[in-house]
């Protein structure tokens, strides 16, 4: 990928645009780095741990690590090809300097710290005065660390956590009570390096410079090898590969869980209340996730994810929680942090109250996931097979209940059409698996009967002859972009008149340029939101499956152009300004991109 | 006090321990499945792993029974309640070190806190007190090991 266009970074009230963030990670956590070189988000040791840097949520209390020229500059950046290693080039009147950032992957050549951020600074031309400052704030900014030198190395500690600041040819670090700061000159041909090794409940490892350099190179080659192994050869390959790399950052390697996004409480509306913690794994995303893994040739990730999914949901079986923690825990109590929020978008929440909702669509997602997994040639063991059959039995008893729907509305439960469609999918896939002798078929007759009952209900109560479309919920007049999932997951085929009509109705009613609104009805929250990107990709895929290839390609081209300069997407986009809204990188946006690109590629073949 | 009694106690104790954990598993009290954890060290085939795991688990049960017997013999005293104490120590060791730390280090398919991209674990790590497998796991595991220790202690002492 080429460097993005050089531009002078802009901050408003000391906050960078969300679009200006790139992400780096190591399969355990992620960091957000702004175009101006500031690390404004980093949670250690794990993706869902409290943060060390959270300036993106509170520029005063959150803590950050900035590294930038000490004179006016422009910045361009890119990922090193096929990697999650970020390269930012700062250009000033007197010279050029390049910064390479990575959360390193451990190698076997040396003793690696538990976690490590490395920033390599190379002088390319002239001389550039540089300045950097590290302001660690443990626990979402709640704890100011104690900073002191140990063996000459600045170390910030709080409780069982410690982070060291190892700098080579990057000036003489000055320690204050709560930060480490330095200035230096980056001359052409010189190379400086700053490493932040981190320890949690163990002694700090203080690496040598040679080890850090080797680990950064190892990290680059490891990512490149992973990317080289991806099998996708269809259209928009670069965007798909970047989405695969972004998705890989959301795979929590220690368990195989896939987080919905890497951050919490980045707002869906500036100064609004729609600020949620997405560092959990949503069952809602499971079918898209598994499908993407399979299409990208990520068989180990697919198997690991299914194993984790079945392990995590075991304690609540046959009920499914909406979301699970990355370690499989079911508890995600929502609480508000005393942070000001991104541009005063408060409250800042961690945890997610949606965990306790009833969402009927999750059952269909689980069975669809198992269906995709077995269709790809994998097997189910007896325990998983039994549980899937019991899940189908369970949906027979609860599908008539109202629920919170895929969008987790906080208004009263309703009979959402997409939820009922996914209940139908639950039983249809159960019958398919039973027909292939993959799960017990003792209750197949009951599944068949209830599947027909759901179909009768949806066709009688959830379809409008006037709009020639399925409706958001039974007896409503609204449309909902989630209805497209009825087509994508197979409730009805694309040539079914009612489903075809629904695609056209969604396009006619909810589409605004490349953007597709989720819905226009009430959701129990104040304010509004940006355009939900996944819905736009779903529409592109639905159009392709309906044979409207040119429209699908045109929409897809527009959507791919909406990514930021390094190919990432957040959850939503402001329709007017194009600003990113919501958490990032957003797994569902990238999953929907992969799925749409694959579908359009298949349709054009 | 005989070594055969210890082995018999180890067999019965492991039977009870395994049955207890499996029952707790079925009642959604915990996600721990020791035979599965052990078996997946040898194969990624889930069905075969469970069969292998049960075998490995019973061998482990015999080895721990011999360890109990060695301590009983060394101090020249055995009783069911001392077996219970051994079971308590055994259970705490299993929850805090053996399964939590040592097993992930040697298990080729289990994640650790250090597992990183591009690797991906097939089995999530147990975590401190194996709490990742459910909040009831420490209680269930400890109770099962107390029963195991009591049975081994009782067998070694009986019929003296």
Task: Give tens-digit pLDDT for A108-133.
Answer: 888 899 999 999 999 999 999 999 99
CATH number given to A11-228:
2.70.98.10
CA distances from B144 to A133, B19, B69, B138 (A): 53, 9, 19, 10
CB-based contact A256 B114, cutoff 8 Å: no
B101 Cβ under 8 Å from any chain A Cβ = no
**For residue A1, is pLDDT > 60?**
no
Separation between Cα atoms, residue A12 and residue A343, nearest integer Å = 8
Which residues of chain A neighbour B101 with C-beta distances below 8 Å? Answer: none
* Longest Cα–Cα distance in chain B: 59
Q: Which of A303, A415, A421 is nearest to A365 (CA)?
A: A421
Instruction: Quickly state the pLDDT bin for A526 (edges 50, 70, 90).
Output: low
For A480, the token pair is 């909902």
Give the residue-averaged pLDDT of B17-24: 92
**pLDDT of A530 above 90:** no
The pTM is what? 0.93
Q: Do B28 and A27 touch (CB under 8 A)?
A: no
Which residues in chain A touch residue B25, judged by CB atoms under 8 angstroms apart? Answer: 314
Sign of CA dihedral B33, B35, B41, B43: negative
Q: Which residues of B touch A373 (CB under 8 A)?
A: none
Contacting residues of A for B113, CB less than 8 Å apart: 28, 45-46, 114, 200, 254
pLDDT score, position B124: 87
- Domains in chain B, number: 1
pLDDT, tens only, A61-84: 999 999 999 999 999 999 999 999
Q: What is the average pLDDT across A170-186?
A: 95
Say what the pLDDT of residue B101 is: 87
How many residues would you count in chain B? 160
Report the residue of B124, B126, B137 to disrupt the A interface, i.e. the one with the largest count of A CBs within 10 Å. Answer: B124
In the predicted model, what is the mean pLDDT of residues A29-42? 98
What's the pLDDT at A202?
87
3-state SS class at A210: helix
pLDDT surpassing 70 at residue A2: no
Instruction: Report chain A's mean pLDDT, rounded to a whole number.
Output: 95
CATH of domain A237-604: 1.50.10.10
A280-324 pLDDT, tens digit each: 999 999 999 999 999 999 999 999 999 999 999 999 999 999 999
Domain ranges of chain A: 11-228, 237-604
> Contact at 8 Å (CB) between A266 and A18?
yes
pLDDT exceeds 80 at position A342: yes
Please enumerate in sequence order all residues whose Cβ is within 8 A of that of A593, keeping only pairs 6 or more positions apart, or say none: A236, A239, A240, A243, A537, A559, A560, A569
Residue A529 has pLDDT above 80, yes or no: no
Please list, in sequence order, all residues whose beta carbon lies within 8 angstroms of the beta carbon of residue A149, skipping any fewer than 6 positions away. A155, A175
Tell me the C-alpha distance between A398 and A442, whole Å. Answer: 19
| pLDDT(A232) > 60 | yes
- pLDDT in the model for residue A524: 63
pLDDT in the model for residue B160: 55
pLDDT greater than 70 at residue A100: yes
Judged by average pLDDT, the poorest of A53-67, A102-116, A554-568 is A102-116
CB contact under 8 Å between A25 and B117, yes or no, is: yes
Q: How many CB atoms lie within 10 A of CB A593?
A: 31
Q: Which two tokens stand for residue A70?
A: 């000490």
The answer for residues whose C-beta is within 8 angstroms of residue A293's C-beta and 6 or more apart is: A299, A301, A302, A305
Q: Which of A132-136, A216-220, B102-106 has the lowest mean pLDDT?
A: B102-106
CA distance A518 to A505: 13
Tally the C-alpha atoms within 13 A of residue A313's C-alpha that lie toward its C-beta.
Answer: 29
What integer pLDDT is reported at residue A52 of this predicted model? 97
In this prediction, residue A368 carries a pLDDT of 98
Segment A573-591, tens digit of pLDDT? 998 999 999 999 999 999 9
- Give the 3-state secondary structure of residue A334: coil
Q: Is the pLDDT of residue B140 over 90?
A: yes
Closest partner CB to B116 (pick from A27, A257, A317): A27
Note the pLDDT tens digit of each residue in A385-435.
999 999 999 999 999 999 999 998 878 899 999 999 999 999 999 999 999
- Contact assessment for residue A439 and residue A382, using Cβ atoms and an 8 Å cutoff: no
Write out the DSSP string of A405-455: TTTT-SS--B-BHHHHHHHHHHHHHHHHHHHTTSS--TTHHHHHHHHHHHH
Domains A11-228 and A237-604 share a fold: no
Q: How confident is the model at residue A527 (pLDDT cuts 50, 70, 90)?
A: low
Which residue from A253, A328, A384 is facing B132, i.e. has the nearest CB? A328
């Amino acid at each position: 990928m080429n460097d993005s266009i050089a531009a002078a970074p802009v901050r408003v009230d000391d906050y960078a645009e969300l679009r200006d963030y790139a992400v780096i990670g190591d399969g355990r956590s992620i960091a957000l780095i702004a175009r101006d070189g500031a690390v404004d988000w980093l949670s250690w040791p794990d993706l869902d741990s409290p943060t060390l840097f959270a300036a993106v949520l509170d520029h005063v209390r959150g803590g950050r690590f900035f590294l930038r020229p000490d004179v006016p500059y422009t910045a361009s950046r890119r990922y090193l090809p096929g990697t999650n290693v970020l390269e930012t080039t700062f250009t000033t009147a007197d010279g050029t300097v390049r910064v390479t950032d990575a959360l390193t992957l451990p190698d076997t050549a040396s003793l690696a710290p538990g976690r490590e951020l490395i920033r390599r600074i190379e002088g390319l031309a002239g001389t550039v005065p540089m300045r950097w400052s590290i302001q660690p704030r443990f626990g979402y900014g709640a704890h100011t660390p104690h900073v002191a030198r140990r063996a000459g190395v600045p170390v910030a500690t709080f409780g069982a956590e410690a982070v060291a600041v190892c700098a080579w040819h990057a000036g003489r670090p000055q320690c204050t009570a709560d930060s480490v700061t330095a200035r230096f000159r980056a001359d052409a041909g010189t190379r400086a390096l700053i490493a932040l090794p981190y320890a949690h409940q163990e002694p700090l490892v203080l690496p040598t410079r040679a080890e850090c350099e080797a680990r950064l190179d190892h990290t680059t080659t490891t990512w490149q090898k992973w990317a080289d192994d991806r099998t996708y050869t269809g259209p928009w390959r670069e965007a798909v590969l970047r989405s695969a790399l972004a998705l890989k950052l959301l795979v929590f390697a220690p368990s195989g869980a896939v987080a919905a996004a890497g951050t919490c409480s980045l707002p869906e509306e500036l100064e609004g209340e729609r600020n949620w913690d997405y560092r959990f794994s949503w069952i809602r995303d499971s079918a898209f996730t598994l499908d993407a893994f399979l299409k990208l040739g990520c068989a180990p990730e697919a198997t690991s994810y299914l194993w984790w999914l079945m392990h995590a949901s075991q304690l609540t079986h046959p009920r499914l929680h909406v979301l699970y923690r990355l370690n499989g825990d079911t508890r995600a109590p929502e609480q508000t942090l005393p942070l000001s929020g991104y541009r005063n978008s408060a409250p800042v929440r961690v945890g997610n109250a949606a965990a306790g909702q009833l969402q009927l669509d999750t059952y269909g997602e689980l069975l669809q996931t198992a269906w995709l997994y077995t269709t790809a040639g994998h097997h189910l063991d007896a325990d998983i097979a039994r549980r899937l059959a019991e899940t189908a039995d369970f949906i027979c008893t609860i599908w008539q209940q109202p629920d919170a729907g895929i969008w987790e509305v906080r208004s009263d439960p309703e009979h959402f059409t997409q939820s009922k469609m996914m209940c139908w999918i639950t039983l249809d896939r159960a019958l398919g698996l039973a027909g292939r002798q993959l799960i017990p078929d003792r209750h197949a007759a009951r599944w068949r009967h209830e599947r027909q009952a759901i179909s009768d209900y949806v066709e009688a109560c959830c379809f409008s002859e006037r709009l020639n479309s399925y409706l958001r919920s039974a007896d409503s007049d609204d449309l909902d972009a989630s209805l497209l999932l009825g087509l994508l997951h197979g409730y009805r085929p694309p040539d079914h008149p009612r489903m075809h009509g629904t695609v056209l109705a969604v396009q006619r009613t909810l589409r605004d340029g490349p953007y597709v609104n989720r819905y226009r009805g009430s959701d129990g929250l104040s304010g509004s939101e940006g355009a939900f990107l996944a819905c736009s990709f779903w529409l592109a895929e639905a159009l392709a499956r309906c044979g409207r290839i040119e429209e699908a390609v045109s929409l897809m081209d527009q959507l791919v152009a909406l990514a930021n300069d390094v190919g990432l997407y957040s959850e939503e986009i402001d329709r007017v300004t194009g600003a990113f809204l919501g958490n990032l990188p957003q797994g569902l946006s990238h999953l929907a991109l992969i799925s749409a690109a694959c579908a359009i590629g298949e349709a054009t073949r | 006090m005989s070594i055969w009694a210890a082995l018999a106690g180890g067999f019965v104790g492991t039977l009870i321990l395994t049955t207890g954990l499996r029952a707790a598993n079925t009642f959604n009290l915990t996600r721990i499945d020791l035979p599965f954890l052990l078996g997946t060290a040898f194969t990624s085939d889930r069905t075969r792993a469970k069969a292998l795991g049960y075998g490995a688990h019973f061998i482990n049960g015999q080895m721990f029974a011999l360890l109990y017997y060695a301590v009983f013999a060394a101090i020249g005293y055995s009783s069911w309640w001392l077996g219970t104490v051994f079971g308590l120590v055994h259970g705490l060791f299993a929850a805090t070190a053996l399964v939590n730390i040592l097993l992930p280090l040697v298990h080729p398919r289990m994640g650790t806190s250090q597992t990183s991209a591009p690797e991906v674990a097939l089995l999530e790590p147990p975590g401190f007190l194996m709490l990742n497998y459910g909040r009831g796991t420490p209680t269930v595991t400890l109770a099962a090991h107390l029963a195991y220790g009591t049975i081994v202690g009782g067998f070694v002492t009986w019929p003296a």
